[in-house]
Amino acid sequence: MTIAHLMSFIGLCLMITITPGLDTAAVVRNTLMSTRSAGMLTALGCAAGLFVHATLVALGLAELLLRSAILFEFVKFAGAMVLVGLGARSLWRAWRIGVGNNVLTTLPRSKRSSMPFLQGLLTNLTNPKAALFFLAALPQFLPSGAPSAAVPVALGLAVIAVAFSLTGLGLTVLGVHQIRHLLRSRRARRIQDALLGATLIALGVRVAVE
């Protein structure tokens, strides 16, 4: 691979990173509803899911998903349900704040270490667009005359993409965490949760119908 090809791939990763998507919505939600650590764990889960997608494409397994319309639709529907479920939880939280119930500001201690990561992982794994991105992009940057080097190069490119994703989501967590103090009033928290819930459900519906 030439330097020009590598820079082109890096530019593509940068454009994808600065474009908000499903991963960004999940990270923002968990950062606002829980803690900075929860947001970082969600970002790590999203990055892990992205690497799984890239690895499957590098090994040629993702093509099987595209050839099976039923399996593709199942994965897409599962992703939509994950988003709708997260959105519904945010709306439920907004309602509870509105009626004056006590609302937990952090996740239970037993779930802090795993739930945000799993949410991020599921959000990314059930997003077919992640697999489609690698399936469309990676072959263009692989050495055509050296089949034996295709998988190592593809995995190397996947690491670059994951690094960009993790960096972008991590910066999002830090930025959102910095403005949390502006959103601590009961009214602000209710509006914040309602908007997040509606956004996540809208994203889920869009994924399901696309």
Question: Residue 77 corresponds to which tokens in the numbers above?
Answer: 């529907």
What per-residue confidence (pLDDT) applies to 72? Answer: 65
How confident is the model at residue 14, as a pLDDT? Answer: 85
Q: What are phi and psi of 33, to 5 degrees?
A: -85, -20
- Helices and strands in the chain: count of H runs, count of E runs: 10, 0
Closest CA to 40 of 94, 128, 119, 109: 119
Q: What is the pLDDT of residue 167?
A: 94
What element of type H or E holds 168?
helix 150-178
Torsion over CA of 21, 26, 30 and 33, rounded to 10 degrees? Answer: 80
Instruction: Return averaged pLDDT per consecutive 10 residues of the chain, 210 residues in all.
Output: 77 80 86 87 93 81 66 70 75 68 45 75 83 73 64 84 92 87 65 72 72
**Contact (CB, 8 A) for 69 and 186:** no
Say what the pLDDT of residue 111 is.
47
Q: Domain spans of the chain?
A: 22-209
The pLDDT of residue 186: 67
- The angle at the Cα of 24, spanning 20 to 30, to the nearest 5 degrees, equals 155
Sequence-distant (6+) residues with CB within 8 A of 118 are 45
Helix (H) or strand (E) segment spanning residue 29 = helix 22-33
